[in-house]
Structures are given as structure tokens and as C-alpha cells.
Amino acid sequence: MIAELVSSALGLALYLNTLSADFCYDDSRAIKTNQDLLRETPWTHIFYNDFWGTLLTHSGSHKSYRPLCTLSFRLNHAIGGLNPWSYHLVNVLLHAAVTGLFTSFSKILFGDGYWTFMAGLMFASHPIHTEAVAGIVGRADVGAGLFFLLSLLCYIKHCSTRGYSARTWGWFLGTGLCAGCSMLWKEQGVTVLAVSAVYDVFVFHRLKMKQIIPTIYKRKNFSLFLSISLLTFWGTSLLGARLYWMGNKPPSFSNSDNPAADSDSLLARTLTFFYLPTKNLWLLLCPDTLSFDWSMDAVPLLKTICDWRNLHTVAFYTGLLLLAYYGLKSPSVDRECNGKAVTNGKQNANGHSCHSEAEYRNSEIKPSFASKAENGIKKNVSQTTQLPSTENIVVLSLSLLIIPFIPATNLFFYVGFVIAERVLYIPSMGFCLLITVGARALYVKVQKRFLKSLIFYATAMLIVFYGLKTAIRNGDWQNEEMLYRSGIKVNPAKAWGNLGNVLKSQSKISEAESAYRNALYYRSNMADMLYNLGLLLQENSRFAEALHYYKLAIGSRPTLASAYLNTGIILMNQGKTEEARRTFLKCSEIPDENLKDPHAHKSSVTSCLYNLGKLYHEQGHYEEALTVYKEAIQKMPRQFAPQSLYNMMGEAYMRLSKLPEAEHWYMESLRSKTDHIPAHLTYGKLLALTGRKSEAEKFFLKAIDLDPTKGNCYMHYGQFLLEEARLLEAAEMAKKAAELDSTEFDVVFNAAHMLRQASLNEAAEKYYDLAAKLRPNI
């Protein structure tokens, strides 16, 4: 228990500084803009949508079905809203729990000695976990890891009680339920069933490759056959249900997500896919260079046999095969131990044919009841529980390293990443066990005390270095700017582009522009970066340049609705109404099929229709405007804020003298957003027109109260007062409006007109002069 507590405490302590971190990278889409987290969204939607809130059967869905993780986010949101502290706290606590469970699992393999302690500390401190723990969306991997270990521990209990206790099937049921929960946290969780089978065959039954098939068919091992069969059945059922639920179709990804998958060259695809596991293992062994994103050209394609990285691939698979051979080979009949023969491969309590006294002292033999078969007759006898041999642990470690990683290998379907550090959270358990069992084997093998101490302290120093790297890496995850700057050397295009967004939000305009241009230097066809640069230029009134980059963005991605939207707005403001109309119409016709974020696309399409309606409205085509507004209402997604659209519907009906319809839509606008100022003003005008003067005045005053700095509010109220022949009050409102919006021609001119109506000719002349300066050509 001490080892578990200390390891968990280290896992907790290393990540305490992440509690003050902000939302970073993917957190925005999974949490900030995910409608499934909102109280008003039925919680059952979580079970029909993917991790990002897109309908699972939609053609653009990532098919990442993780409802239990999303449900945990929803609980976080219900308790703490969008305060990142509570989200980070849950991640850190989950990691501490996983570390404790992993240490308990290690104790089953290594006993109560310090090697269990080493394995637990190594897992707690490994830097590869930083993305999974410090990044909030990494909770999917940590949660899956928690239920992965619970499932595996339940199966170990099932094996130890099988054949003499009815409770054994309760443990098996726990295995299945926890495996299902692990899969509902993240897809790779289902692989625990395969790892459990490996444990049963190679660790619990200590079988070698030549013994597997004959042993399974022996009558006395029917229980083994039954357990493996049930594991297979349950795993197949879970995978079948998962495939059916996501529409029986694999996800589709863009070229930048996984360039190798999109390569036309079979050789390049093959060499790259064989190399990527090598790169992942290197990140586990030497996590010196880590990055928030490994997509695009972060790992260049291997296009020829002559690429020197192929040597790494050969070395990796050679080592893997040698380890597998070492773990699976049949033992020799006679072995030598200090000059004495050990017959039939029998091993002592901690799994080695030859051991030092030190290892004996660190291997505790525990009494337990086990089922023993003699001549086909089962007896319940008391015997000692032997710890697995080094070979057994190597096989189990390899299975724990490889099997959970298989879904990320592009073997069965293409994935949406090149390398993802958080995907290595569960495989790192196998890695930690391999390092530990390797160090232990060397420790036992060498005879000199100096060498034993060297091996022990080298392993301890590795844990210290891992812990220091984790602490340093956690600093990168404190905020988005630090995170993206840390990724420039690995993925400069993505890092510079994301950094540009951060700098823009900080109003560092020139730095943001430079960052966007740096991103485009490395990858010139990134539609998102072209669009973001265009948006930055548009917001700084550099409209010609903005139109150029929007055109490039559309050329790179013809379905980028937001680029059409902003192009149309610029053209409309420049008076190029026909071009603007065609742009808006083209945008409205773009389908949302195979798009990564269909919700954002639908919002942009709705905005295009809204602006097209405004264009028709300004041209006096009110019927056409209403038709377009109605289409916008039909297409708008749940997250779209409809108050302006509803208000414009009311305006169109008002112009057509359909006052009841106009009032309905004004009220809808106010219902959707109670502090929507334009709706207060337009509804006030309608109330005044229909003789409800006192009500109208209340709405005008409410608009002023909502934003006392808006000259337009005073202007509308002044016009109302003028119509009521309250000339001096109207003149005061006119002056206030002109003072606040002294650069707006319409406001200044109307103020002058109202002052003249109030016979304040000197003040009126002043504002007429100002209006003339604003538009000297009129």
C-alpha cells in the first residue's frame, strides 16, 4: 500500500502546477463550444454525438465516441462553468488514481520489493503523460486508462479464483463492464480484453508458444478455453456495437492530419507507417522533444528505401522480435545455476532460474488457495503464489505496449494524426514494465555489488530525469502562447498559425500578422491560416489585401463558408452589391458533408443568408429579404445567436406594413436575447406607431440604459420625442447623440435637423457644418 500511495502522491505533486493553467489547444472545441455540455441541451445527446459535439453518423464526424468523458466534462461545466481549474483538478486526480492502480498491478508482477516501487514512480513521472494530464481533452486517455487497469485487475482476480469459487464469474463480469467503460472513455480501451487473454495464457498459466494449442484442447484446461472464448466474444460484441453506432463507416480526415494516408505512393505509405511506431517508442524512451501537435510535416514522409530513418525501423522491429522470442521460447530442459543443474525449467518464487540472495529477499511468497489438477481430478489445495518469471513479464509488457497502440497504427483504418502523445498514455504502462523488468534482470545477473548499485541508481536517475522533464513540460501547458511557442521546432506551420490567433486576441496585431505569414511560409496552402490572415487585415481596414487572402483560402478549400461570408461583407460595404449577392448565394449552397466542424459551417451559412437578406432589404426588396431570412432560420444551428436575424425579420414585415408579424419577430428577438439593443429600438418604434406611446418610451429608455455610450440610442429616442412635440428634450437627445457618434454622418445630420426643429439654429448650424465635413461631396 505504501508504494501505491507514494506513486500516486508523486503523480499528483508533479501536476499540481497545471491547476492554474488555462484552456489550451483542443480544449476550446471540446469544451468551450461544445453544445453537449450546456444545461439546456438534453444529456442524452452525448450518446449520439462524437467527442466534439457532432452527430456521430454525420459524414464529417471524427467518429471519436467517448460519451463517458463528455459526460464528465458536462458535470464539470454544471459545477464550475468554464473555470479551467476544476477541469484540471479532475484530470490530476484521475492520473493519481491510475498511478496507484498501475503500482498495484506491478506488485502482482514484481512482489512487494523496490522494483514495484520503481515501476510506479516511473509511470507517475513519465513526461509523455503531460499532454494527457495537463491538456483537458487528454482526460479521455486517463479515464480509459483507469478502467483499463480496473478491468485487468478484475480479470487477474477471476484467474486466481477460477475453478473453486463462484465469485470468479463476478470478477469476470467486472472485467467486461470495466472494459466497456474504458472503451466509452476512449476507443483503445477495448484492447484490455486482449491484454487480459495474454495475461491468462502467458503469465497465469505460464505457457510457451508450442504449448498453447495443445493445452487449450486438453480437457483439464476447459476453464482457460472458456475464459478466452468469452473475452473474444465480448470484445467482438463491443467492437461490432461501436462500428454500428458510428454508422458502419470509418472517419475521413484531411491531408494535413495524416499526410502518409493521403500519399499516392504505396512505398511512401508503407515505409512511413512502419517507421511511426519507432518514433513513438523513441518518445517513450527519450521524451526530449515533445509537441502539442505532430500533424502536417512534423514527421516527413519516408519516400525511398535509402532514407536513413529506415535503419531505425529495422532496429526497432529486430529488437521487438528478439524480445518476443525471448519471452515466448520454450525453456531448455537443463539449466545451470552456480554450477548446479535446474531440471525441467523449474523456477523459484520470483521467476528466475538463477537469483542472488538480494532478489530472494525482495520476493515475498504469499499463501493462497488455487485449483490444482492431478490426473484430471481437481482438488483445492493450499499452495504458494509464484511471481511471474522475467520471460512472462516481458511478454505481458510487450502486449501492454503494443496492443493498445494498434488502433493508432493505421493498420485497420487511417487515423487523424501522425503522432499523438496522449495516445501513448496506456502503452506507456507496458514501457515502464519493460524498463523495470530489464533493470531487474540485469541487477540479478551481475555479481558485483558495484554493478548492482550502478543499475539501481541509473534506474532511479532515469525516474528523476523524467520527473524534471515533466515539471518543465507542464510549464509549457500553462497557457496557449507558451504551448505554441514550444511546438515551433516540431511543427512550425501549425504552431505559428495558432500562435498568431493568441497574439491577435492580445491585440498584438503586427506580431500576429508576422506569425500568420511565418505559418504560410512553411505551408502556403493552409486555408485556415489564409483566412485568419485575411480576417486580421479586414479588421484593420486593409480590405484589398483581405480580399486577396480570402480568395486564396477559398481556392485552397472551396467549402470554407466563413471566407465567402467575409468576402461578401467587404464587397457589400464597397458598394459592389451584385458581386456580394453572388458570393452570399454561393456560400448558402455549400453542403456540410465531410466537414470537420459542421456546426461552424452552418453558422457561417446562416450569417451569409442573413447578410444577403440585409442586402435585399437595403435595396427595398422586402419580400426577397423575407424569403432569405426564412431560409436562414431553417438552416441555423442550435448555437447560432438569432436575435439579429429575428429583428431583421421584424424590420422587413414593418416595411411591408404587416405590423402583427413584425411585432411577433421583435418579441422573438427580445426573447432570444433580452438585452438586444436594436430590438428595443425597433420595437419601440412599432409601439409608437401603433399608439402605445408610454410603452414605446420605456423601450427607448431601456436601450439607453443598456448602453449609455451608443449615440444611436439617443438619436432614436430624440426622434420619438420630436414626433411627440417635446422639442427641447429632443434637442438634448440630439446633442448627446452627436457628441457620442461625432464621426457618423447620419447621426450628426439628424441631430442638426432636430436642433433646427427646436429652433436652436446656432447649434443646428454647428452640426450641419460637421456633417458637411464628414461628406463634402453631398
Domains of the chain by start residue, with CATH: 1-253+440-471 (no CATH), 708-777 (1.25.40.10)
* Beta carbons within 10 angstroms of residue 542's beta carbon: 15
CB 561 within 8 A of CB 587: yes
Between 361 and 172, whose confidence is greater? Answer: 172
Instruction: Give how far the C-alpha of residue 690 lies from the chain's centroid of Cα atoms, to the nearest Å.
Output: 53
CA distance 769 to 266: 74
Quote the CA–CA distance of 572 and 580 in Å, as a whole number. Answer: 5
| pLDDT over threshold 60, residue 149 | yes
C-alpha 73 chain-centroid distance: 12
Phi, psi (deg, nearest 5) at residue 258? -150, 80
Amino acid present at 330: S
Which grid cell sits at 151?
A: 478491468
* Rounded Cα–Cα distance for residues 692 and 639 (Å): 34
pLDDT band at 772 (very low <50, low <70, confident <90, very high): confident
Q: How confident is the model at residue 342 (pLDDT cuts 50, 70, 90)?
A: very low
pLDDT digits (tens, 9 = 90+) for 278-309: 999 999 999 999 999 998 889 999 999 999 99
Phi, psi dihedral angles at 335 (to 5 degrees): -125, 155
Mean pLDDT (the chain) is 88
pLDDT at 335: 41
Q: Using one digit for the tens of pLDDT, what is the confidence trace for 368-422?
A: 333 333 333 344 433 445 789 899 999 999 999 999 999 988 877 788 888 999 9
Which residue type is seen at 653?
Y
Mean pLDDT, to the nearest integer, of 44-63?
87
DSSP letter (8 states) at residue 339: T
Quickly state the pLDDT bin for 220 (edges 50, 70, 90): low
For residue 453, pLDDT over 70 is answered with yes
Q: Please check the confidence at residue 160 and state whether its pLDDT lies above 70.
A: yes
pLDDT tens profile 570-583: 999 999 999 999 99
pLDDT of 332 above 80: no
Label residue 367 by pLDDT band (50, 70, 90): very low
* Dist. CA 218–CA 210, nearest whole Å: 14
Give the chain's count of helices (H) and strands (E).
34, 4
Quote the pLDDT of residue 639. 83
Q: How confident is the model at residue 213 (pLDDT cuts 50, 70, 90)?
A: low
**pLDDT for residue 250:** 74
Q: In this model, does residue 318 exceed pLDDT 50?
A: yes
pLDDT of 642 above 90: yes
Tell me what pLDDT residue 296 has. Answer: 87
Nearest to 22 by CA among 89, 88, 71: 88
Nearest to 163 by CA among 224, 229, 211, 234: 224
Dihedral Cα 707, 708, 712, 716, nearest 10 deg: 100
Kindly tell me if the per-residue pLDDT of 333 is higher than 60: no
Task: State the amino acid at position 596 in one-letter form.
Answer: K
Closest CA to 225 of 203, 254, 200: 200
Cα separation, 276 vs 753, whole angstroms = 74
Which residues are paired to 49 by β-bridges?
Answer: 55
Task: Give the pLDDT confidence score for residue 636 in this predicted structure.
Answer: 92
Look at 134-138, 291-295, 547-551, 711-715 and tell me which has the smallest mean pLDDT.
711-715
At 725 the pLDDT is 85
Of 279, 225, 518, which is closest to residue 408 (Cα–Cα)? 279
Residue whose entry in the numeric block shows the C-alpha cell 456633417: 771
3-state DSSP helix/strand/coil % of the chain, to nearest 5: 70, 5, 30
Query: Cell 520476493, residue?
Result: 363
Task: Average the pLDDT over 723-733 and give the result.
Answer: 86
The DSSP-derived string for 267-285 is: HHHHHHHHHHHHHHHHHHH
Q: Is the pLDDT of residue 58 over 50?
A: yes
Of 83-97, 242-256, 651-665, give the lowest mean pLDDT range.
Answer: 242-256
Give the distance between the most distant pair of CA atoms in the chain. Answer: 121
114-133 pLDDT, tens digit each: 999 999 999 999 999 999 99
**CB of 114 closer than 8 Å to CB of 159:** no
Instruction: Report residue 359's pLDDT band, with 50, 70 and 90 as the boundaries.
Output: very low
The pLDDT of 537-550, averaged and rounded, is 96
What is the chain's alpha carbon radius of gyration, rounded to the nearest angstrom? Answer: 34
pLDDT score recorded for residue 596: 81
In this predicted structure, what is the pLDDT of residue 457? 95
The SS3 of residue 384 is strand
Q: Which amino acid is at 682?
A: T
pLDDT at 376: 35
Indicate if the pLDDT at residue 253 is higher than 90.
no
CA separation for the pair 539, 560 (Å, rounded): 19
Confidence check: pLDDT of 493 > 80: yes
CA dihedral 251, 257, 261, 267 (to 10 degrees): -170
State yes or no: pLDDT of 363 exceeds 60: no
The whole-number average pLDDT for the span 138-161 is 96
Query: Is residue 262 very low, low, confident or very high in pLDDT (cuts 50, 70, 90)?
Result: confident
- pLDDT > 70 fraction of the chain, expressed in percent and rounded: 91
- CB within 8 Å of 111: residues ≥ 6 apart: 350, 362, 363, 364, 387
* Amino acid found at 111: G
Whole-number pLDDT of residue 15 = 93
Is the per-residue pLDDT at 604 higher than 60? yes
Pair 246, 65: CB distance under 8 Å:
yes
* Whether the Cβ atoms of residue 186 and residue 69 lie closer than 8 Å to each other: yes
